[in-house]
Amino acid sequence: MKMSDKYITDKKGNRVLFRSAVPDDAEACIRYMNVTTGETPYLIREPGEFRMSVEEEKVSFRGIWKIRDLL
């Protein structure tokens, strides 16, 4: 589901943008997955299990938007 862009101000006064991920975010999303899977044993994945390439992640994001547009 695509969300509308929303800005909030955090406790330190920083302006933060919440938005849906787009294909250009693929590399950063993969880095995030690799970091977070190593932070706790209580996640569904273990470190190193997330093996999607940047291009595969981009295709995944594009597919999500195509499905959304069909609904």
31-55 pLDDT, tens per residue? Answer: 988 888 888 777 777 777 778 899 9
Supply the pLDDT for residue 61.
84
Q: Given a cut of 90, is residue 21 above it in pLDDT?
A: no
Amino acid in the structure at residue 7: Y
The answer to whether residues 17 and 6 touch, using CB atoms and an 8 Å cutoff, is yes
Q: Given a cut of 70, is residue 4 above it in pLDDT?
A: yes
Residues whose CB falls within 8 Å of the CB of residue 43, separated by 6 or more in sequence, listed in order: 36, 37
Average pLDDT over every residue of 8-20:
96
Q: Coil, strand, or helix at residue 9?
A: strand
Per the structure block, which two tokens stand in for 24? 């250009």
**What's the predicted TM-score (pTM) here?**
0.66
